[in-house]
Amino acid sequence: VAMGRAIVRDPKVFLFDEPLSNLDAKLRVHMRAEIKALHQQLKTTSVYVTHDQVEAMTMADRIVVMHDGYVQQVGHPLELYDRPVNTFVAGFIGSPGMNFLPAKVAKAGKLDAVLADGQKLRLPDGLPLEDSDALTIGLRPEHIRLVDDGALKAEVEVVEPLGLSTQFYVRLANQQVCVFVMGRSNVRPGDIVRLSADPAALHLFDPKDGNRIG
């Protein structure tokens, strides 16, 4: 009702302060589409405040991510998804959220990241990293592959079958890591699985300030 009253007044700017927060999940999805369709029809600038990153990603032309009153990053939703400037933005954008793993650089011809349990991940070439540098590896659940010859070994803790996809949590390098695969998977809690990740899919951050490396 409040939105309808605002629209008929033909304002220059709409200010939305979490308008969908009190709706149930199904109605929230429906109203997201309604508001986006209205925006495309009316072509009126809209400033929309939300703590729901799905709303931000699906509805925005540009997102401003704020933390403690400071702007962290401004850009198109996929810009923030592909190249978050720090761990806060990386953790906020994406559902399920990005995994973070502490590691150290091992430079022996090629760059590797050594995880807390000694397992290694290949890093992209050409990064300003030296041997024994500390870093935080960011890895999105959908960029982790379940393969027989994967470089990483982990134990499955929780499996969440979603029908179209499967989401499961593994214990890797003493941390719980989320893995997201399309389709149905026959993994079970207690299984030992092999995982791999393309070096190009890794996000690297400085553990001191959380800023992106490279």
> pLDDT tens digits for 122-155?
998 878 888 888 999 999 999 999 999 888 999 9
In terms of domains, do 104 and 197 share one? yes
In terms of domains, do 196 and 130 share one? yes
Could you say which of 24, 57, 92 is where a domain stops? 92
In terms of domains, do 135 and 178 share one? yes
Q: How many CB atoms lie within 10 A of CB 28?
A: 16
Could you say which of 92, 113, 147 is where a domain stops? 92
In terms of domains, do 116 and 192 share one? yes
- Which two three-digit tokens encode residue 174? 């003493």
Cα→Cα distances 112→38, 89, 109, 208, Å: 49, 25, 9, 20
CA distance 214 to 136: 13
Instruction: Count how many domains the chain has.
Output: 2
Q: Could you read off the pLDDT of 96-110 as tens digits, one per residue?
A: 899 999 999 998 767
In terms of domains, do 131 and 153 share one? yes
In terms of domains, do 107 and 149 share one? yes
Q: Count Cβ atoms within 10 A of the Cβ of residue 64 and give its class: 0-12 exposed, 13-18 middle, 19 or more buried.
A: middle
CA distance 161 to 169: 12
Within 13 A of 131's CA, how many CA atoms are on the CB side? Answer: 4
Per-residue pLDDT of the chain (214 residues; tens, 9 = 90+): 888 888 888 889 999 999 898 899 899 999 999 999 988 998 899 999 999 989 999 999 999 999 999 999 999 999 999 999 999 999 999 988 999 999 999 987 678 899 999 999 999 887 888 888 899 999 999 999 999 988 899 999 999 999 999 999 999 999 999 999 999 988 999 999 999 999 999 999 999 999 999 7
Torsion angle of C-alpha atoms 147, 203, 114, 153, degrees rounded to 10: -20
Range of the domain at 61: 2-92
In terms of domains, do 88 and 103 share one? no
